[in-house]
Amino acid sequence: MSCEYKVYDPSWCPGCGNYMIKTTLKQALEELDIPPHKAVIVSGIGQAGKIPHYIGANGFNGLHGRALPPAIGIKLSNKNLTVIAESGDGDTYGEGGNHFIHTIRRNVNIAHFVHDNQIYGLTKGQGSPTTAKGQKTTLQFDGVRFEPVKPVALSLTMGAGFVARGFSGDIPHLVKLMKEAITYKGYAHLDIFQPCVVWNKVNTFGWYKKHTYYLPDDYDYTNYEEAYKKALEWENGIPLGILYKVEKETYEDTFEFIKNGLPLVDVKLDPMDTEKLMKGFY
Amino acid sequence: MDYTILVGGAAGQGIDTVIHLLERTIKRHGYYVFTYKNFMSMVRGGHNFMQVRFSDKPVTSYVSKIDMIFALNEETIALHRERLKDDGVIIIDNEVAKAEEYNHLPLTQIAKELNNEKVYPTVGFGALVNYFGLSLDIAKEVIYDVLGDKISDVNKQALEKGYDMLERKYNLEKKDDNHILINGNQALALGAIAAGCRYYCGYPMTPSSSVMTYMSAKANEMGIVVDQIEDEVGALNMALGASYAGVRALTGSSGGGFALMTEALSLAGITEIPIVVFNAQRPGPATGMATRTEQSDLRFVIHAGHGEFPKMVIALRTPYDAFYQTARAFNIAEKYQIPVLLMTEEYLTDYNMTIDPFDFSKIKIERYLAKESDIIDERYKRYKFTESGISPRLIPGKVKGKVVLVDSHEHNEYGNIEESTDNRIKMMDKRMKKLEGLKDEIQEPWFIGKENPENLIVCWGATYGAVKEAVDILNTEGGSIGALIYGDIWPFPTKRINEMGKKAKRIIDIEQNATGQLESLINEFTDIKCTDRILKYDGRPINGDEIIQKLNLSI
Ligand SMILES: Cc1ncc(C[n+]2csc(CCOP(=O)(O)OP(=O)(O)O)c2C)c(N)n1
Ligand code: SF4
């Protein structure tokens, strides 16, 4: 078979959390029965951003911080494709911060998996937007001097309809979250703790295991106030699971011709159809 | 006949409305119209003016001398009366100015009587209609078309009242009207839509925005996604996403915004995603002058993007050119899987000109997409090495079992990251090989004027209009003058300039920039040397009169 979800020799360090995320993604897509030619993985730059190369689906490995804009362009152009954006925490919340904010507002039907290792992996250990204040890095010798971004709180306040947090150390749980995010109609933000075993000596597998807990089964993820409280929890345990999930109109459905028409890419084009517009210039 | 009416005043006073009504009414009488707009980057206040020039012969530029000033404030008179012809007239509202030599019209008073002070420009328009002997019926028709149902009644009354205010001086008899009246940005947008562009994303920046506005107005009717993005960085990345997925996409901006797009332009280069991007130039550096004109981004645009990759740059010369070249750009972008950059400039984006209607049957949509049967490899090679450097392009989701991987890193034929020396050289060569094919696509510059001229003008883009007027006038007066006007400008066409430049005694470079950027390309790619330069960079467009004047000095 030429086209299945398979691996092309990742260049990640042994023990890196990215391996589990890749395995999980593959499993989620297979379990959802989405064939590789119907899925597109869009990514930025960073260790996380290499993932389209290791999954045998359609891939768009673009620029640092810029995974989201092409993902939107792809989805609006062909609504039949399953579009998944994958990026690092620096990629998403740093270089791509502006795109992140405005993509949430747009609510295009894409799933966004952020490999949040709280450090810059590929560029060798500088602080990322999620690195804790005070943490010493290969660049911030005296420790990071300012507050980290709070990803899930940020996406909640921006109006995301699906906000979740996962951990690459628990594959079955993460598969469930990914499947929920992919099938959610709208922008789904899934921040995934991904230990960087080389550069982040603070947020290790053990640290995440110790500091996280699972949201209980009876947790009401439609309650915004509750979700916001959960999103801010940190010192006394970080919740994993779906923090918030409600139905919202997707961006593409606000375009009548996309909602009720063929995918844009399949619309037949004829230059003569444009002739009528000349009326306006007589 | 050749008349020019100037309407001036502060922003927000209604210059736009008068001009709109005037240019359309005159056009519908079968005359050639050219409207030049000069405005400041302000929504209220300041000094703005627009000039409608009309003639029974084609006109391609504005002129310095004017026949009438319709002043909405006194400042307009002070600023422009010097340009008034000896038999020219000035009209102004009697409540605004008192001096004897003007025609004082009770514009505000009539507007008040009609219970709508906003219609006073229409009262003035009425006066002009009679003065030039235009048809009242056609003027009413235009009011209805321009202002719409709701407010056209009171405006029609205003028109009739104004009509009686000024005596008739001319009689513009009605002729057949076979033209459209359009500006460069509208023509660019129409060309794009005709070519099948169904995705426009951008961020507002004068003077590029009206492309987005026009496409947005037609979005629902034509099924176009028009999206205002958070910034220009996002805009080009998004357009590349759409193009990757198989939809023709367009984005554009002015200098500063285009600067932000250069990162993604380079991405288009290595991913080989076809894309059309336009830069509507305004004077720089940085924010420069938002509503003024210049041609100073040529060097920047041809070199835009880091690293080396093939691209094509086309300068738009007229609205007519804008339509056809934009449509052509989409085909070339897809044929070679490269970015095609369109250069326009504020003057062209904004002026309105009468031209022949576009022939949509001439537009061909050529997609150059691979068929399922073209993909013989078990695993689809997005970057397959080929003779021409162009790999069969597949669109994701279309063929079962085949996936499309594009990558900003150096990659192998499959699109996977690979940095071996062998692969790097092969991939670079593959991309650059496209330049060979591209060279055959390049159109030589237009030539106008006398064959084998002693004096050869070289220019590019919208400077065409002014140069054309100057060349025509000088040749009628016995001059020996010709001009090459560059449209396709990168890769740089050298054939015609080499031929003509060797024969001419003088070669005069005319550009709207301070350094002579076209001249520098001629120097770089040919043995021809320019002997004279007329460079204008005050932010105002050059016109035929000015060129003639300056040529006298330098020839
Ligand atoms: C415009 C731009 N700036 C900087 C870089 C260098 N760069 C590559 S990856 C990266 C950060 C990676 O961190 P993150 O996004 O958290 O991903 P990780 O490697 O940790 O997965 C940076 C700064 C780049 N490639 N492009
Ligand atoms: S540097 Fe960190 S994030 Fe990158 S591969 Fe190694 S462990 Fe993973």
Residue A57 near chain B (CB below 8 Å): yes
User: Residue B268: in which H helix or E strand, if any?
Assistant: helix B255-271
Q: Smallest Cβ distance to A2: which of B196, B218, B379?
A: B379
Give the torsion through C-alpha atoms of B117, B123, B124, B125, to 10 deg: 120
Residue B148 pLDDT level (bands cut at 50, 70, 90): confident
Rounded to an integer, what distance in angstroms lies between the CA atom of residue B301 and that of residue B312? 10
B69 close to B90: Cβ distance less than 8 angstroms = yes
Closest Cα in chain A, distance from residue B272 (Å): 12
Report the pLDDT value the prediction gives residue B45, as an integer from 0 to 100: 78
Report the pLDDT value the prediction gives residue B349, as an integer from 0 to 100: 98
Report the pLDDT value the prediction gives residue B181, as an integer from 0 to 100: 98
Nearest-by-CA chain B residue for A103: B230
With beta carbons under 8 A apart, name residues in chain B contacting A11.
417
Which residues form ligand 1's pocket by a CB distance below 6 Å?
A 45-48, 64, 88-91, 115, 117, 119-123, 128
Asked if A61's CB is within 8 angstroms of B408's CB, the reply is: yes
DSSP code for B342 = E
Report the pLDDT value the prediction gives residue B41, as an integer from 0 to 100: 80
**pLDDT more than 70, % of chain B:** 99
Q: Is the pLDDT of residue A1 over 70?
A: no
Q: How many CA atoms lie within 13 A of A217 on its CB side?
A: 0
Q: Which ligand is nearest to the CA of A195?
A: 2
Report the pLDDT value the prediction gives residue A7, as an integer from 0 to 100: 63
Closest Cα in chain A, distance from residue B90 (Å): 29
> In 10 A of CB A10, how many CB atoms?
15
Report the pLDDT value the prediction gives residue A45, as an integer from 0 to 100: 98
A123 Cβ contact list (under 8 Å, min separation 6) = none
In ligand 2, which atom is closest to the CA atom of A117?
Answer: 3
Peptide bond before residue B453 is cis, with ω within 30 degrees of 0: no
Return the residue in B238, B243, B380 with the most chain A beta carbons within 10 A, the one to mutate for interface testing. B238
Q: In the 3-class helix/strand/coil scheme, how is chain A assigned residue by residue?
A: CCCCCCCCCCCCCCCCCHHHHHHHHHHHHHHCCCCHHHEEEEECCCCHHHHHHCCCCEEEECCCCCCHHHHHHHHHHCCCCEEEEEEEHHHHHHHCHHHHHHHHHHCCCCEEEEEECCCCCCCCCCCCCCCCCCCCCCCCCCCCCCCCCCHHHHHHHCCCCEEEEEECCCHHHHHHHHHHHHHCCCCEEEEEECCCCCCCCCCCHHHHHHHEEECCCCCCCCCHHHHHHHHHCCCCCEEEEEEEECCCCCCHHHCHHHHCCCCHHHCCCCHHHHHHHHHHHC
Tens digit of each residue's pLDDT (9 = 90 or more) over A70-114: 999 999 999 999 999 999 999 999 999 999 999 999 999 999 999
Rounded to an integer, what distance in angstroms lies between the CA atom of residue B551 and that of residue B503? 19
Report the pLDDT value the prediction gives residue B555, as an integer from 0 to 100: 45
- B418-B421-B424 Cα angle (round to 5): 60
Helix then strand then coil, in percent of chain B rounded to 5, is 40, 20, 40
Alpha carbon nearest to ligand 1 atom 3, residue: A64
With beta carbons under 8 A apart, name residues in chain A contacting B263.
63
Rounded to an integer, what distance in angstroms lies between the CA atom of residue B481 and that of residue B136? 43
Closest Cα in chain A, distance from residue B247 (Å): 5
Return the residue in A7, A265, A267, A270 with the most chain B beta carbons within 10 A, the one to mutate for interface testing. A265
Tens digit of each residue's pLDDT (9 = 90 or more) over B500-533: 999 999 999 999 999 999 999 999 999 999 999 9
Rounded to an integer, what distance in angstroms lies between the CA atom of residue B131 and that of residue B136? 11
Q: Smallest Cβ distance to A53: which of B235, B237, B417?
A: B417
> In 10 A of CB A132, how many CB atoms?
15
Rounded to an integer, what distance in angstroms lies between the CA atom of residue B250 and that of residue B192? 8
- Give the Å distance between the CA of A86 and the centre of ligand 1: 13
Give the torsion through C-alpha atoms of B54, B319, B228, B270, to 10 deg: -160
Furthest-apart CA atoms within chain B: distance in Å: 88
With beta carbons under 8 A apart, name residues in chain B contacting A42.
241
- What would the mean pLDDT of B215-239 be, rounded to a whole number? 98
pTM of the model: 0.97
Tens digit of each residue's pLDDT (9 = 90 or more) over B9-42: 998 899 999 999 999 999 999 999 999 999 888 7
- What mean pLDDT value characterizes chain A? 96
Closest Cα in chain B, distance from residue A220 (Å): 33
B333 close to B340: Cβ distance less than 8 angstroms = yes
First to last CA, chain B: 29
With beta carbons under 8 A apart, name residues in chain A contacting B186.
281
Rounded to an integer, what distance in angstroms lies between the CA atom of residue A42 and that of residue B227? 20
Q: Which of A16, A207, A214, A224 shows the shortest CA–CA distance to A121?
A: A16
User: Residue B422: in which H helix or E strand, if any?
Assistant: helix B421-441
Residue A41 pLDDT level (bands cut at 50, 70, 90): very high
B50 Cβ contact list (under 8 Å, min separation 6) = B6, B7, B8, B15, B16, B19, B35, B36, B37, B38, B39
Residue B300 pLDDT level (bands cut at 50, 70, 90): very high
Q: Which ligand is nearest to the CA of A201?
A: 2
Asked if A278's CB is within 8 angstroms of B358's CB, the reply is: yes
Q: Is the pLDDT of residue B55 over 80?
A: yes
Displacement of CA A217 from its chain's centroid (Å): 24
Rounded to an integer, what distance in angstroms lies between the CA atom of residue A80 and that of residue A82? 7
Q: Smallest Cβ distance to A72: which of B238, B246, B263?
A: B238
In ligand 1, which atom is closest to the CA atom of A49?
Answer: 21
Residue A66 near chain B (CB below 8 Å): yes
- What would the mean pLDDT of A137-149 be, rounded to a whole number? 97
Rounded to an integer, what distance in angstroms lies between the CA atom of residue A36 and that of residue A29? 8
Asked if B397's CB is within 8 angstroms of A37's CB, the reply is: yes
- Give the Å distance between the CA of A119 and the centre of ligand 2: 9
User: Residue B336: in which H helix or E strand, if any?
Assistant: helix B319-336
Asked if B244's CB is within 8 angstroms of A38's CB, the reply is: no
Report the pLDDT value the prediction gives residue A253, as an integer from 0 to 100: 97
Report the pLDDT value the prediction gives residue B539, as an integer from 0 to 100: 97
Rounded to an integer, what distance in angstroms lies between the CA atom of residue B151 and that of residue B142? 13
Alpha carbon nearest to ligand 2 atom 2, residue: A196
Rounded to an integer, what distance in angstroms lies between the CA atom of residue A255 and that of residue B466? 43
Closest Cα in chain B, distance from residue A162 (Å): 21
Q: Smallest Cβ distance to B407: which of A61, A81, A98?
A: A61
B191 close to A275: Cβ distance less than 8 angstroms = no
Nearest-by-CA chain B residue for A3: B401
Dump strand ranges (E) for B113-264.
180-182, 199-202, 225-228, 249-253
Residue A59 near chain B (CB below 8 Å): yes
> How many residues would you count in chain B?
555
Q: Smallest Cβ distance to B416: which of A8, A74, A278?
A: A8
Strands B180-182 and B352-355 come out as antiparallel
Q: Smallest Cβ distance to A37: which of B225, B247, B399?
A: B399
A123 lines ligand 2 (CB under 6 A): no
With beta carbons under 8 A apart, name residues in chain B contacting A262.
none
Tens digit of each residue's pLDDT (9 = 90 or more) over B252-262: 999 999 999 99
- What mean pLDDT value characterizes chain B? 96
Report the pLDDT value the prediction gives residue A232, as an integer from 0 to 100: 97
The label of the residue with tokens 């150096």 reads B410
Report the pLDDT value the prediction gives residue A9, as an integer from 0 to 100: 80
Displacement of CA B8 from its chain's centroid (Å): 23
Q: Report CA torsion sign: B173, B179, B184, B187.
A: positive
Peptide bond before residue B121 is cis, with ω within 30 degrees of 0: no
Q: Is the pLDDT of residue B202 over 50?
A: yes
Residue A2 pLDDT level (bands cut at 50, 70, 90): very low
Asked if A273's CB is within 8 angstroms of B247's CB, the reply is: no
A197 lines ligand 2 (CB under 6 A): yes
Residue A3 pLDDT level (bands cut at 50, 70, 90): low
Q: Is the pLDDT of residue B57 over 90?
A: yes
Residue A33 near chain B (CB below 8 Å): no
Helical pair B184-194 and B209-217, crossing angle rounded to 10 deg: 50
Tokens of B223: 């099924």
Tens digit of each residue's pLDDT (9 = 90 or more) over B411-424: 999 999 999 999 99
Asked if A261's CB is within 8 angstroms of B223's CB, the reply is: yes
> How many residues would you count in chain A?
282
Q: Which ligand is nearest to the CA of A94?
A: 1
Alpha carbon nearest to ligand 2 atom 5, residue: A12
Closest Cα in chain B, distance from residue A34 (Å): 11
A40 lines ligand 2 (CB under 6 A): no
Q: Is the pLDDT of residue B537 over 50?
A: yes
Q: Is the pLDDT of residue B371 over 60?
A: yes
| A-B contacts at Cβ under 8 angstroms | 197
Best of A11, A16, A43, A168 to mutate for ligand 2, by most ligand atoms within 8 A of CB? A16
Report the pLDDT value the prediction gives residue B149, as an integer from 0 to 100: 77
Nearest-by-CA chain B residue for A268: B196
Q: How many CA atoms lie within 13 A of B72 on its CB side?
A: 28
